[in-house]
């Protein structure tokens, strides 16, 4: 299972929420009683988390043709810089 520091919940361009894991953005596709399924917007790849979004339970590996969402990556980089400034 992934550590919570590997998962980031961010706002996407359409006003919804996406989860970022390993520099790829996933959109919420399905929620059950105990888990949430997130889908990559580029290809048919999935990520399954618990409902608290604190751990990755299951995922399908990405292919090389699935590119990182540059908008989300830029937001995460800005957020990391801000956190560094605040804590140092």
Rounded to an integer, what distance in angstroms lies between the CA atom of residue 36 and that of residue 52?
9
Q: What residue segments make up the domains of the chain, in order of their start?
A: 4-87
pTM: 0.56
Q: Which CATH number fits domain 4-87: 1.10.1200, 1.10.12, 3.30.70, 2.20.25?
A: 2.20.25
Could you list the pLDDT tens digit for every one of the 88 residues in the chain? 444 457 777 777 777 777 787 777 777 777 888 888 777 766 677 777 877 777 777 777 765 556 666 776 677 778 778 877 887 7
């Amino acid at each position: 299972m992934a550590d919570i520091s590997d998962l980031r919940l961010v706002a996407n361009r359409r006003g919804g929420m996406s989860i970022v894991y390993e520099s790829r953005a996933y959109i919420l596709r399905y929620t059950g009683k105990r888990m949430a399924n997130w889908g990559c917007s580029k290809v048919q790849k999935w990520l399954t988390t618990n409902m608290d979004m604190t751990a990755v339970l299951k995922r399908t590996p990405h292919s090389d043709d699935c590119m990182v969402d540059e908008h989300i990556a830029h937001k995460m980089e800005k957020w990391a810089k801000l956190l560094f400034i605040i804590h140092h």
